[in-house]
Amino acid sequence: MKVAPLTRVLAVLSVAACAFAGTSFAANLPAAGQTPSQEEQTAPQLRPSEKEARAEEARSNKPCIRIVATGGTIAGAQASQKEYGYKSGAFDVNELIAAVPNLEGLAQLSGEQVANIGSQDMNDEVWLKLAKRVNALLQSPDVDGIVITHGTDTMEETAYFLNLVTKSDKPVVLVGSMRPATAVSADGPANLYNAVAVAADPGARGRGVLVVMNDEIHQARNVQKTNTTNVETLESPQRGPQGLVHTGKITWFEPMDKKNTARSEFSIAGLDHLPRVDIIYAHANMSPDLIDAAVKNGAKGIVIAGVGDGNMTKEAAMQLEKLAKQRGLLVIRSSRVPTGLVLRNNEIDDDKAGFVASGELNPAKSRVLAQLALTKTRDPKKVQQIFNTY
Ligand code: ASP
């Protein structure tokens, strides 16, 4: 099945100002024989070479935005429009770019594919590959900003990981969709348009990694998926969005106070794997069995998605304290409750047990930060400092 706008001709452009290796440039140009717009009809007539030179100049004044595709529903296709089910990652990056009318009016675009997966299959290996590629692109003077297309299931984790390990103030924006590219009223093209507008905007610089979905701009640290299927799903329940973007027009709100990107102490240069950290969900009658299983299988850290303020049964807490003291297991208390803080030494004595309280970070983000913290230290006091800082 084809996405309707893909029937338009894909033209390959060569744009000198944004040239860098491995580039395939795609733009959504009118098909041969298409009627000129009213603007084109009333404009003073230029000779073809002058017209081309002006168009080239206008293009080369626009920021160079690299679109890095990883798959997800934004690139997904249904077998038919009546189907609920679909396959993630069915379309490639050039097809995504071509499906958005007037995208080339915002920026000089180029694209590449780093993965083509549903983000439920995201893993440390793809994260390291993606982050290294993003860092290499950010160093290039030919890149002003990056847009990463990604599934929404784990978008909040990838965004936060990149927020901690990419090393530049240039904008990096993640975008996805809740409806596949073939759906009636697909949300991907509008989201991608807005994401490119944000990545091309000087106001996005220095704000860390951002997520653009459903006309909102979110900081990676704050954003969470909050609805299984609705297009209004990526939200920042604690702090609210970083800004709004409507048909490419942006209003910025206050920037984040936490450290990220160029000011982060974490580096993945030379890393080929990350320490294993598991999340265990607390509940009534919780036993320590899953804690033991995680450690036996190589977990160096455990995040508890605790009840309430990061709580768990006495049995689970005692086992964690034992493992923290005897084996240096890193224990993070987070919460399964969507909002509120997990503070130190409330009902559980973190100082005595050697635990870390996650503060604002939900279990998924706590896991990401714990993995990176473990590349530096296993000391819970130092890790607590890290949690307070990032
Ligand atoms: N399962 C899909 C994914 O995360 C869902 C989505 O993209 O919205 O890749």
Q: What is the pLDDT of residues 180-204, one digit of tens each?
A: 999 999 999 999 999 999 999 999 9
- Does the pLDDT at position 386 exceed 80? yes
- Chain CA centroid to CA 209, Å: 7
Spell out the CATH class of 4-262.
alpha beta
What's the rounded Cα separation, in Å, for the pair 154 and 141?
30
pLDDT of 28 strictly over 50: no
**4-262 and 275-389 share one CATH topology?**
yes
Would you state the pLDDT for residue 104?
Answer: 93
Phi and psi at residue 97, to the nearest 5°: -65, -45
Judge whether residue 35 has pLDDT over 60.
no
Q: Above 90 in pLDDT, residue 27? A: no
If you measure from the C-alpha of residue 356 to the centroid of ligand 1, how many angstroms do you get, rounded to a whole number?
Answer: 31
Pocket of ligand 1 (CB under 6 A): 72-73, 88, 118-120, 151-153, 176, 178
Which pTM was predicted?
0.88
How many angstroms is it from 258 CA to the middle of ligand 1? 28
* CA gap 200, 381 in Å, rounded: 40
pLDDT in tens, 47-102: 778 877 776 676 678 999 999 999 999 999 998 877 788 888 899 999 999 999 99
Rg of the Cα trace of the chain? 23
Residue 45 binned pLDDT confidence (cut-offs 50, 70, 90): low
Per-residue model confidence (pLDDT) at position 16? 45
pLDDT at 13 over 60: no
Write the CB contacts of 324 (distance below 8 Å, at least 6 apart in sequence): 330, 331, 353, 354, 355, 380
Q: How many CB atoms lie within 10 A of CB 1?
A: 11
Q: Which residue has a Cα nearest atom 3 of ligand 1?
A: 151
Q: What pLDDT, on a 0 to 100 scale, did the predictor assign at position 41?
A: 45
> Which residue in this structure is represented by tokens 């007037």?
102
Phi-psi region of 279 (alpha: psi -120 to 50; beta: other; left: phi over 0): beta
Q: Where are the domains of the chain?
A: 4-262, 275-389
pLDDT (0 to 100) of residue 60: 74
pLDDT in the model for residue 65: 98
Which CATH architecture does the domain made up of 275-389 adopt? 3-Layer(aba) Sandwich (3.40)
Ligand 1 centroid to residue 224 C-alpha, Å: 13
Structure tokens of 364?
Answer: 């998924």
Rounded CA separation 363/332 (Å): 9
**DSSP symbol at 307:** B
Query: What pLDDT does residue 23 have?
Result: 42
Does the pLDDT of residue 26 top 60, yes or no? no
pLDDT of residue 149: 98
Above 90 in pLDDT, residue 42?
no
